[in-house]
Amino acid sequence: MEKAKIAVIGAGPAGIAVGVEAKAHHISPTVLFEKSEAFCDTIQRLYRPGKRVDAVYRKMVVKPLGICQFDTESKEDFLKRMEAYIRDYELDIRYRSEVNAVQKADGVYRLRVGSDWVLEAPIVVVAIGIFGKPRKPDYPIPKEIRERVFFEAPCECPQEGRVLVVGGGDTAAETACFLCEGCEEVYLSYRRPKFFRINPVNLELLEKKAQTGKVQLMMNTDIDHLEPDPQGVKVVFKDGQEMVVDRIYYCLGGSTPAGFLRSIGVEFQDGKPVMDKYYETNLPGVFLAGDIALEKGSIMAAFNTAHIVVKRILEKYGDLIR
Ligand SMILES: Cc1cc2nc3c(=O)[nH]c(=O)nc-3n(C[C@H](O)[C@H](O)[C@H](O)COP(=O)(O)OP(=O)(O)OC[C@H]3O[C@@H](n4cnc5c(N)ncnc54)[C@H](O)[C@@H]3O)c2cc1C
């Protein structure tokens, strides 16, 4: 079986930054596994073309600690930056390789892709993010309206119709502003009376759209359920209010892929994976990096987890990786 010093699962910002930091410290071989055809699948797939990638995301100013860092720039420039890291640090990324199991045997971890155990390494960093599984509402979505209900921000703007965006974060704000480019009526429903997570740039843009009537803000509204309607989707709110829209976009973020982590033996406490301050789990040598390691994720925070993890690997497992 192929052997590596560090196996990294996921080639998003966190996984790539782990690869970069490991390479900078000559930890070789370090092998990254990525389930999709390209690096940074979350960004490639869920960010619309031209999207601003904010260095200060969800109002969190994160001071860069390691090699990977960036200033606010477009999606395309950010992806070029990541491509340059991959090229300059000669990262070994295995694309179309979804790791579906990790097992400890003879003191090392073995990784399975498809039905084959493909690689073993003493250290594993899990950097699979949370956006493989977008968060969904508790109420069911009737099957008649499923093609009108979306759990990801749109990459293309529909050129007509009445749409409802649900959520109170940056993605909800950006989605509402973006949909104004084509849709006749855009509504944004948020269950709180005030936005508190949106960064100042997005908030200003959203407020401008609201002032000019392009986005109708529906604060303090909470959806009870959805129903099929001859005109589209009937949205019934908890206060009894109803509206009919053509499409709904839920921007509720993602959730920790607990199933995968549990299946490899990571313990959970109060719904969160058990980790020390260096993001090492209860399994010695298995670390988490990026969104799955963080309460509030962002790209810069993901980069920093990678720096902390690799520093810790050097300190604690120097004998195993040199
Ligand atoms: C619409 C949207 C807008 C955002 N805007 C911003 C912003 O402006 N600024 C900001 O800082 N943050 C933003 N974020 C958040 C940011 O994208 C995340 O914090 C960041 O991508 C986290 O990086 P990560 O590497 O932890 O996870 P991800 O970027 O999700 O990467 C995980 C990678 O692992 C791969 N993977 C998953 N499972 C497996 C497996 N089993 N085997 C192999 N590979 C696997 C995935 O394909 C993916 O490539 C935004 C998020 C969204 C959804």
Same domain, 13 and 158: no
- The residues pairing with 119 across neighbouring beta strands, listed in sequence order, are 2, 111
Is residue 235 within 8 A of residue 229, CB to CB? The reply is no
- The yes-or-no verdict on residue 155 having pLDDT over 90 is no
pLDDT in tens, 76-87: 999 999 999 999
Please give the pLDDT value at position 241: 96
Which residue from 131, 179, 203, 251 has its CB within 8 A of the most atoms of ligand 1, so it is best to mutate?
131
Structure tokens at 114: 């498809």
Q: Last residue of a domain, which of 207, 227, 250?
A: 250
Q: Single out the residue in 223, 250, 277 at which a domain terminates.
A: 250
**CATH number of the domain that 193 lies in?**
3.50.50.60
First to last CA, the chain: 19
Distance CA 201, CA 193 (A): 20
Note the pLDDT of residue 126: 98
Q: Which two tokens stand for residue 85?
A: 């890291």
Ligand 1 mean position, distance from CA 301 (Å): 12
Does residue 138 fall inside a structural domain? Answer: no
User: 267 and 205 in one domain?
Assistant: no
Question: Does 131 contact ligand 1 (Cβ within 6 A)?
Answer: yes
How far CA 252 is from CA of 65, 165, 169, in Å, comes to: 29, 10, 8
Threshold 0.85, pTM exceeds: yes
Identify the pLDDT of residue 152.
87
- Cβ of 249 closer than 6 Å to ligand 1, yes or no, is no
Instruction: Determine the residue of 21, 42, 70 to mutate for testing ligand 1's pocket, defined as the one with the most ligand atoms within 8 A of the Cβ atom.
Output: 42
Q: Which of 48, 295, 53, 24 is nearest to 152 (CA)?
A: 48
Q: How many alpha carbons fall within 13 Å on the CB side of residue 177?
A: 20
Tell me the CA–centroid distance for residue 206 and ligand 1, in Å: 24
For every residue of 156-209, DSSP letters joined together read: S--SSSEEEEE-SSHHHHHHHHHHTTT-SEEEEE-SSSS--SS-HHHHHHHHHH
Number of domains in the chain: 2
pLDDT of residue 154: 87
Same domain? 56 vs 189: no
**189 and 87, same structural domain?**
no
State in Å: Cα 104 to ligand 1 middle. 27
Is the minimum distance from the CB of 19 to ligand 1 under 6 angstroms? no
pLDDT digits (tens, 9 = 90+) for 103-136: 998 889 999 999 999 999 999 999 999 998 889 9
CA dihedral 11, 61, 192, 145 (to 10 degrees): -20
Q: Does residue 256 surpass a pLDDT of 90?
A: no
Task: For residue 212, report the distance from its CA to the centre of ligand 1, in Å.
Answer: 33
pLDDT of residue 114: 93
Alpha-carbon distance values, 308 to 8, 113, 129 (Å)? 15, 27, 17
Q: Count of residues for the chain?
A: 322
Sheet of 215-218: strands edge to edge?
Answer: 149-150, 247-250, 162-166, 185-189, 215-218
The pLDDT tens digits for 1-24 are 999 999 999 999 999 999 999 999
Residues 6 and 129 placed together within one structural domain of the fold = yes
**pLDDT band for position 159 (50/70/90)?**
confident
Ligand 1: residue whose CA is nearest its atom 40: 98
What domain range includes position 62?
Answer: 2-133+254-321
Cβ(232) – ligand 1 distance below 6 Å: no
CA separation for the pair 287, 310 (Å, rounded): 10
